[in-house]
Amino acid sequence: MGCEVKISLSSKEEIYEIDKVAKQASGAVLVRERDAVILATVARDDNQVDDDFLPLTVSYIEKSYAAAKIPGGYIKRETKPGDFEILTSRMIDRSLRPLFPKGYACPTQIVIFVLSADSEVDLQTLALNAASAALYLSDIEVDKNVAAVRIGKVDGNFVINPTMSELAISSLDLFVSGTKDELLMIEMKTNATTHSEVIFEPMMGESATESVMTTREMNELSDDEMILALSLAGDEIENASRAYEEGFLALKKPLASVEYKSELLEDSILDYIDEFYKQEVKTAVSEMAKSERASGLKTIVKTISNDDTATKEGWSSELISNMINIYKKNIVRAMILDEGIRADGRGLKDVRNIEIETNILPSVHSSCLFTRGQTQALVTLTLGDGKAAQMYDLLAQKDPQYENFMVHYNFPGFSVGEASPLRPPGRRELGHGNLAKRALESSLNLPKSETIRLVSEILESNGSSSMATVCGGSLALRAAAIESEKLIAGVAMGLIVEDDRYAILTDIMGLEDHDGDMDFKVAGSKDGITALQMDIKLGGISQQILKEALLQASVARAHILEIMEKANDEIELNENALPSKSIFDLDPSTFGAIIGQAGATIKKIIEKFEVSVDLDKASGSVKVEGKNKVQVSAACEHIRELASQKRESKKPNRDAVQFEEGQVFDGVVKRVVDFGAFVELPGGIDGLLHISKLSDERVSKVTDIVNIDDKVKVKILAQKGHKVELGFIEKL
């Protein structure tokens, strides 16, 4: 039953079973990679919608049974999709929507079920490949295969289609989709990496103390590295698309009989508008706000509809409106390509005026009002402890995951002058918030014991509100005294292409996004890119244009960062609202005195100073938090005093213990370090048995001779102050 097609790609193999399941759908495939199995289906209605748009719905659904799990919570079945499912659905939609033929207006649904999961398989790339195959094999007139590829970077080397284990340690996460001759969508972020090194510090007369030094890298990607990674992705996509075409072409279903909407087009109306209403359209185009521009264009449509010419020619209002929009688009593009001037009078590389205010909300931990032209984002920050983290499940992970850095983006209708009802965040809001989070998170070194929530309220929008969220979010972090390695800025780039001419636009507004050929959002620090998102509306983009766009974005980002640096220097903290926190280290052996019998001492500290106290015995870290800075400082001093008293009571009286050279003692090895071992002597004093004294011959490792808790016979070689040097006699 059915047939099987094997597709070999870089580092993986996909097995497609066709015409085996869901045979009443317009198209369906069952795809396997390792132990992961995905079902992708395409279904359509025969009747067209009245409005001029493509009624496509994409739903990616993860079934809990795929990972041998029962859904958590009160309801034991899958309910609304999680953020990962929604974001994956959005990525698939953006990749497949451009493939549909012009004029196709039948309601169409693409559903992707994850039926079996594998912890090493990238479900997003597999899901997109499966959905593309189902669409290509269906009875809908789609003649291209989309391929998805992910590029990682491990130990400085690019990795094509990394496993999930490799991706977890990768400094780069680049997801690209496209056909054999064009890129369609890009999602990219960088990941900070940490390196830990154990350091032993010898103490005079005491056991060596062990500490861990951790270094952290942000790992921004340079423009040249970005181009190289995209080149690798493009080559892989081309090879994969050709493999899909060869494997699937003979298996395509016969095309269904579908009517396509004819474009409402009348050249004579365009000539009429150009002759009599050109200046009116230009004036409407120059209106900054979307609502004002729409109102101006509607007025022109109404005026033309009432003309005698329109009446005589039988031009409908719908036809005139369509021609006005086409003419408006032509005007916008011609101004840019012919005159180098944009609708708002800016040059191609100009960034709109930027204004920044921080901590304008007195009761909020921190806030930033970021205004660029007619785009305005109010970004607020709230601090919490580890318990405030968002718990979520990943299909291939058995244990719950916790998100302690959240970015929530809201887009109310009034931001574009619309009286639309307030609704829960949709796919667009989740996508924009996720982009801002990806841009900012690598600049943070956030411990699991803390949680940060950024909320971006878009108060006004005319292009690139997600990048305003990045800029405002970065400054909101600084306005809350959060340690971020570098400021992060974002800018949206656009592109206009006509034949062999093109123009790259910096800081696009909504009109240029709508009538342009590319939406290219780039975020990063002064040293490189941290996140990128690109949707291309035309048939492919050359690497040369892409490189120019990246370089132009880099200049714009530097300009925005310069303004942000000035705002950063002027930040005044909300001392009354911002919670006070102090973190310091103590000897974990003193924690008993701080806690007290049955927790009595620490309870008194919490009640007296009105603070919370968190003791980490593993690291020796003490964290004290409270609403009052004075109280927090007092609590910290009290805790340090308790620890000091405990240390003094345990500390041996070294001055009372004197040894003579040549004395022999039996002792116990208490600690082994690279340079020797510490042996406990009478009086609680530790003596150092250096590695060079363990044998007459060279010893490469201390543990070749002695280990912790070994009983040894040693000889006093010298006592210099508190330091006692030992010679090795034998192991007992």
* 8-17 tens-digit pLDDT: 988 899 999 9
Among the residue ranges 392-396, 402-406, 551-555, the one predicted with the least confidence is: 392-396
- Split at pLDDT 50, 70, 90, the class of 505 is very high
- Nearest Cα to Cα of residue 668 among 710, 607, 620: 710
d(CA 476, CA 455): 10
Is 682 or 359 the better-scoring residue by pLDDT?
A: 359
Q: Are 209 and 586 in contact (CB under 8 A)?
A: no
Residue 198 is assigned to a structural domain of this protein: no
Residues 233 and 147 in one domain: yes
Residues 334 and 362 in one domain: no
pLDDT at residue number 202: 44
pLDDT at residue number 267: 80
Q: Please give the backbone phi and psi of residue 183, each rounded to the nearest 5 degrees, phi first.
A: -90, 140
Q: Which domain holds residue 334?
A: 267-339
d(CA 233, CA 151): 7
Cβ contacts of 530 within 8 Å, gap of 6 or more = 189, 190, 218, 220, 221, 438, 439, 440, 442, 443, 488, 523, 524
Residues 514 and 558 in one domain: yes
Query: SS3 breakdown of the chain: % helix, strand, coil, rounded to 5?
Result: 35, 30, 30
At residue 204, does pLDDT exceed 50? no
- Split at pLDDT 50, 70, 90, the class of 206 is very low
pLDDT exceeding 90 applies to what percent of the chain?
Answer: 45
* SS3 (DSSP) at 29: strand
Tokens for 176, please give them: 């690209």
Q: Are 161 and 11 in contact (CB under 8 A)?
A: yes
Write the CA distances from 87 to 84, 160, 423, 642, integer angstroms: 5, 22, 18, 51
**Cα first-last separation, the chain:** 76
User: Per residue in 213-235, pLDDT tens?
Assistant: 455 678 899 988 999 999 999 99
Residues 308 and 322 in one domain: yes
- Nearest Cα to Cα of residue 460 among 287, 291, 332, 328: 291
Residue 229 is assigned to a structural domain of this protein: yes
pLDDT at residue number 561: 97
CATH number of residue 443's parent domain: 3.30.230.70
Tokens for 443, please give them: 């600049």
Domain finish residue from 618, 650, 682: 650
Write the CA distances from 516 to 331, 341, 493, 502, integer angstroms: 12, 14, 10, 11
User: Per residue in 448-497, pLDDT tens?
Assistant: 778 999 999 999 998 889 999 999 999 999 999 888 889 999 999 999 98
Write the CA distances from 532 to 185, 187, 489, integer angstroms: 10, 6, 12
Q: Is the dihedral of CA 707, 711, 717, 723 positive or negative?
A: positive
Cβ contacts of 430 within 8 Å, gap of 6 or more = 83, 86, 87, 90, 409
Tokens for 239, please give them: 């090879």
Please state the domain count of the chain. 5
Residues 456 and 316 in one domain: no
Tokens for 287, please give them: 């209106």
* Chain CA centroid to CA 483, Å: 18
The number of beta carbons lying within 10 Å of the beta carbon of residue 571 is 18
pLDDT at residue number 146: 94
At residue 251, does pLDDT exceed 90? yes
Sequence letter at residue 534: M
Residue with token string 């047939």: 3
pLDDT exceeding 70 applies to what percent of the chain?
Answer: 93
For 650-656, what is the mean pLDDT?
Answer: 56
d(CA 493, CA 555): 12
Residue with token string 């890009």: 186
d(CA 77, CA 363): 41
pTM of the predicted protein model: 0.79
Domain finish residue from 605, 621, 650: 650
Residue 260 is assigned to a structural domain of this protein: no
Please report how the helices 278-285 and 267-276 are oriented relative to each other, as an axis angle in degrees rounded to 10: 80
* SS3 (DSSP) at 36: strand
At residue 130, does pLDDT exceed 90? yes
Residue 206 is assigned to a structural domain of this protein: no
Tokens for 563, please give them: 């303004």
d(CA 305, CA 298): 10
Residue ranges of E strands in 163-231: 172-179, 182-190, 193-203, 206-217
pLDDT at residue number 536: 80
d(CA 460, CA 220): 30
For 194-216, what is the mean pLDDT?
Answer: 48
- Nearest Cα to Cα of residue 632 among 583, 585, 596, 586: 583
Q: Are 13 and 6 in contact (CB under 8 A)?
A: yes
At residue 719, does pLDDT exceed 90? no
* Chain CA centroid to CA 537, Å: 24
Q: Are 28 and 22 in contact (CB under 8 A)?
A: yes
Residues 610 and 511 in one domain: no
Residues 160 and 90 in one domain: yes
Residues 368 and 405 in one domain: yes
pLDDT at residue number 655: 57
pLDDT at residue number 652: 56
For 507-512, what is the mean pLDDT?
Answer: 89
Three-state SS sequence of 274-333: HHHCHHHHHHHHCCCCHHHHHHHHHHHHHHHHCCHHHHHHCCCHHHHHHHHHHHHHHHHH
User: Per residue in 333-364, pLDDT tens?
Assistant: 988 999 999 888 899 999 999 999 999 999 99
Radius of gyration in angstroms for the set of CA atoms belonging to the chain, rounded to a whole number? 33
Q: Are 460 and 415 in contact (CB under 8 A)?
A: yes
Relative to beta strand 108-116, strand 56-62 is: parallel
Q: Are 61 and 113 in contact (CB under 8 A)?
A: yes
Q: Are 491 and 321 in contact (CB under 8 A)?
A: no
Residue 530 is assigned to a structural domain of this protein: yes
Write the Ramachandran bin of 662: left for phi over 0, alpha for psi from -120 to 50, otherwise beta: left
Q: Is the dihedral of CA 645, 649, 651, 657 positive or negative?
A: positive
pLDDT at residue number 364: 94
d(CA 483, CA 477): 8
Residue with token string 């409402």: 264
At residue 305, does pLDDT exceed 50? yes
Residues 57 and 158 in one domain: yes
Residue 203 is assigned to a structural domain of this protein: no
CATH number of residue 693's parent domain: 2.40.50.140
Give ∠ CA 440-519-537 in degrees, rounded to 5. 145
Residues 639 and 682 in one domain: no
Domain finish residue from 650, 667, 699: 650
pLDDT at residue number 682: 80
User: Per residue in 67-84, pLDDT tens?
Assistant: 998 887 788 888 889 999
At residue 32, does pLDDT exceed 90? yes
Q: Please give the backbone phi and psi of residue 534, each rounded to the nearest 5 degrees, phi first.
A: -140, 135
- DSSP code string of 631-699: HHHHHHHHHHHHHHHHHHHH---GGG----TT-EEEEEEEEEETTEEEEE-GGG-EEEEEGGGS-SS--
For 533-539, what is the mean pLDDT?
Answer: 78
pLDDT at residue number 617: 78
Q: In what order do the strands lie in the sheet with 528-536?
A: 157-160, 147-154, 172-179, 182-190, 528-536, 518-525, 489-498, 501-506
Average pLDDT, the chain: 87
CATH number of residue 607's parent domain: 3.30.1370.10
pLDDT at residue number 538: 67
Cβ contacts of 68 within 8 Å, gap of 6 or more = none
Is 136 or 629 the better-scoring residue by pLDDT?
A: 136
Residue 261 is assigned to a structural domain of this protein: no
pLDDT at residue number 111: 97
Q: Are 31 and 13 in contact (CB under 8 A)?
A: no
Q: Are 494 and 534 in contact (CB under 8 A)?
A: no
Residues 529 and 611 in one domain: no
* SS3 (DSSP) at 438: helix
pLDDT at residue number 649: 58
User: Per residue in 600-648, pLDDT tens?
Assistant: 889 999 988 888 888 887 777 888 888 777 788 888 888 988 887 766 6
The number of beta carbons lying within 10 Å of the beta carbon of residue 239 is 16
At residue 661, does pLDDT exceed 50? yes
Residue 207 is assigned to a structural domain of this protein: no
pLDDT at residue number 543: 73
Q: Are 416 and 291 in contact (CB under 8 A)?
A: yes
d(CA 549, CA 508): 12
Residue 457, H or E segment: strand 450-460
d(CA 146, CA 95): 7
pLDDT at residue number 550: 92
Residues 552 and 601 in one domain: no
User: Per residue in 540-571, pLDDT tens?
Assistant: 677 788 889 999 999 999 999 999 999 999 99
Write the CA distances from 42 to 60, 140, 319, integer angstroms: 12, 9, 33
For 164-186, what is the mean pLDDT?
Answer: 91
For 414-422, what is the mean pLDDT?
Answer: 88
